């Protein structure tokens, strides 16, 4: 990612001299943790890192009080209900976190003339396209998770005029539970794994997404919908093969599976490659290839064990 100098930032109110007072929700999740790491490289701003223990974003009164009392200038909403399969039978909770809560945050920060970054997903598309999705493609979610995230997009856009929506895909990091860490664990435990090969997309290292968000904040939020993932294209099967190769796992055979061989409660897009042209040109960023970022993440995981 490009390094953005403080002098590139527009005028701000309330934070350290020249800086924003930024509320980050979902700070205990993958992206929230990566945002906290990068806060150290962006000391100009004042940060309020919260998860449900510090702020229940489904409580409208609590949100309004927190944003007002702490004079919040901007919100990065990393909080979400992301258990895709469980969402099919937990629609009320999923809607509360993915649709209702973001609208509360957006309305609260709008009262202060602030901005919001809302994280969304490739699941707003049904995956029937065969070329990378652009921001102007019509969403067509095929799951409760995707539907609630799309409704969340519409809500934040309605209630906050300075909203930046960032759709991402296949997120992983050194934090929390995710596909990369699961495949490493299973690869070390089992002699054989079956992994779906006919779902195509792009893995995204959460640290790369966090870096892009900071670039946008420092250059100045430009409202609109943006797509962000790492560069390149792969399948879950090929992703797993790369994970095992980079992690030095040689004793586990990985077999390709059709989606039909591994039925799940929620439908998943068969093709959800995102076109990143808009975010790259708007904020002048370079995005690494997914395998380069995967190598970095696995190196971090290895060093943490040493």
The token pair that represents 97 in the structure block: 């976190």
Q: How far is CA 5 from CA 158, 184, 214, 217, 281, in A?
A: 32, 38, 11, 12, 18
Question: How far apart, in whole angstroms, are the C-alpha atoms of residue 220 and residue 215?
Answer: 8
Report how far residue 38's alpha carbon sits from residue 288's, in angstroms, rounded to the nearest whole number.
Answer: 17
- Assess whether 226 carries a catalytic annotation: no
| Contacts of 31 by beta carbon, 8 Å cutoff, 6+ apart | 78, 119, 171, 173, 206, 209, 210
Catalytic residue chosen out of the listed positions 47, 145, 172, 271: 145
Instruction: DSSP letter for 274, please.
Output: B
H or E segment and range at residue 185: helix 179-189
Angle between helices 179-189 and 290-305 (to 10 degrees): 60
State how far the Cα of 151 lies from the Cα of 97, in Å rounded to an integer: 11
Query: How many C-beta atoms lie closer than 10 Å to residue 135's C-beta?
Result: 16
Determine contact, residues 144/92, Cβ cutoff 8 Å: no
Angle ∠(284,178,105) on CA atoms, nearest 5:
60
- List the catalytic residues: 145
């Amino acid at each position: 990612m490009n390094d953005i100098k403080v002098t590139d930032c527009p005028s701000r109110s309330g934070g350290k001299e020249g800086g924003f007072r930024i509320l980050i929700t979902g700070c205990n999740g993958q992206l929230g943790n990566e945002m906290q790491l990068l806060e150290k490289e962006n000391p100009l701003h004042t940060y309020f890192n919260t998860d449900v223990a510090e702020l229940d974003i489904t409580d409208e009164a609590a949100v309004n009080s927190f944003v007002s009392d702490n004079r919040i200038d901007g919100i990065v909403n990393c909080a979400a209900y992301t258990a895709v399969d469980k969402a099919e039978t937990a629609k009320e909770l999923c809607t509360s976190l993915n649709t209702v809560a973001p609208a509360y945050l957006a309305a609260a920060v709008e009262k202060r003339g602030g901005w919001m970054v809302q994280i969304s997903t490739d699941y707003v598309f049904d995956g029937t396209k065969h070329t990378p999705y652009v921001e102007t493609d019509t969403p067509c979610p095929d799951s409760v998770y995707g539907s609630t995230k799309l409704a969340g997009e519409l809500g934040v856009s309605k209630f906050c005029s300075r909203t930046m929506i960032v759709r991402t895909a296949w997120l992983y990091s050194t934090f929390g539970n995710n596909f990369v860490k699961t495949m490493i664990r299973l690869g070390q435990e089992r002699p054989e794994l079956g992994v779906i090969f006919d779902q195509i997309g792009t893995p995204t290292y959460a640290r790369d997404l966090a870096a892009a968000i900071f670039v946008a904040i420092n250059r100045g939020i430009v409202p609109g919908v943006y797509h962000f993932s790492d560069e390149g294209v792969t399948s879950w099967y090929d992703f797993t093969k790369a994970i095992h190769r980079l992690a030095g796992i040689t004793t586990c055979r990985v077999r390709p599976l059709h989606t039909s061989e591994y039925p799940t409660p929620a439908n998943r897009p068969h093709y959800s490659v995102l076109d990143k042209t808009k975010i790259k040109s708007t904020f002048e960023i370079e995005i690494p290839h997914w395998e380069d970022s995967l190598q970095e993440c696995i190196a971090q995981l290895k060093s943490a064990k040493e």
